[in-house]
Amino acid sequence: AAAAPPAGGVPVAVLVPDDAATLLGTVATAWPDTPAVGVDVRRDALDVRTVRYAGAPATAAQAARTAAADGAWAVVCCETDAATAAVAGALADAPDVLLVSPYGGAVRAAAGRQVVLDLAPAEALRGFVRDAYGGGARAIGVMTPAGVPGDVALQALEGTFAAGDLALRGVARYPAGARPLTPEALWVATRLPDVVIAWDDAAGAAAAWRALRARGWNGPVYAPAAVLRTPGGLPRGGGPEGEVRLAVPPAAVWTALPPTDPARAWAIDARTVAGGRLGSAPGRADGARAYDALALLAHAAATGAETSAALRAAVFALPATDLAAGRYAPSPRTPWAGTAEGTRPARLVAGRLQPR
């Protein structure tokens, strides 16, 4: 049995911008009073306090400093990468206060005091390669911008090629933000890869996908889940246009999860806490990620942590943990806690996300 938490629960501050209605705020408000459904989690292990701020990164940072001064053992934040980075910097003077970031915004210098509920780029790419190889692909093409992120991506990909019969075939680099990408797509297509990884931000990955189709290459394209939030509209995917493959949080396809899936019960409970909305957009699962931030802290708090330093240590000592939006393995060596094994394969068909 889990040890009893401190009286009143471990103090956790959830920072929420006051200029928008967010699922992070919904989850924080509902957490204490929503009975758990089908999962082993102690809601009373946490004393969740919602802290509103004006929305700018500087005000988020000040809210984090105030929360730490008021005794918060952990801070859950933020809605944007810029705000998350500001908060990570603000909490550098309170190293025992753990920052849990549901939506990304990893700060490498904050390793050991930040837990990001997302996959590191290398981990996401490892998942793509594993899925492609399992489906029979042996030649992988890549479209990615020039610069450090693309360099890191290619190094990560080469590091996953343990199988001797797996290789890169066709790598196209281009200036960040360049459009259209049809010359680069033609180069990759003529190398005849089995699959192509379009590794860019949401708009860039969608542009790469469209360019490949424009050049007549209709094979599977792997794209970051962020492509689901492309401002210019979703790739249609499927049918004669080919397939866009993604690795998404389990909560994004929760209705298709079998009863034996370790994330299913957590997704159902998260949906209850999040007011019936696991995500504000297809594939985003922001309600589920907000829930996971609190559930992960509740698991650690229930071990009997009596100080903020002990809570932080307990989080990093947790085994790989399946929750609503993924499997997390927090480590003091890196801010990213997500694992490729915690994602689920999906595809876009006629602009809609479907399990695969």
The confidence score (pLDDT) of residue 2 equals 41
Among 286, 285, 311, which residue's Cα sits nearest to residue 298?
311
* Block mean pLDDT (10 aa), the chain, length 356: 66 91 94 95 96 94 97 96 97 96 96 97 93 94 96 89 83 96 97 97 91 94 85 64 90 96 98 95 91 98 94 98 98 98 91 86
The confidence score (pLDDT) of residue 226 equals 82
Provide the 3-class DSSP secondary structure of residue 222: strand
The confidence score (pLDDT) of residue 276 equals 95
Taking the C-alpha atoms of residue 229 and residue 204, their distance in angstroms, rounded to an integer, is 12
Quick one: 255 exposed, middle or buried, by C-beta within 10 A (0-12, 13-18, 19+)?
exposed
Evaluate whether 340 touches 119 at the Cβ level (below 8 Å): yes
The confidence score (pLDDT) of residue 1 equals 33
The confidence score (pLDDT) of residue 239 equals 62
Residue 115, C-beta contacts closer than 8 angstroms, at least 6 positions apart:
98, 99, 100, 101, 296, 315, 328, 330, 335, 337
Report pLDDT digits (tens) over 221-247: 999 988 887 666 667 666 656 789 999
The confidence score (pLDDT) of residue 225 equals 86
The confidence score (pLDDT) of residue 59 equals 97
Region of residue 245 (phi > 0: left; psi between -120 and 50: alpha; otherwise: beta):
beta
- Burial letters 80-106, b for 16+ CB under 10 A, else e: beebbbbbbebbeebebbbbbbbbbbb
Report pLDDT digits (tens) over 279-299: 988 788 999 999 999 999 999
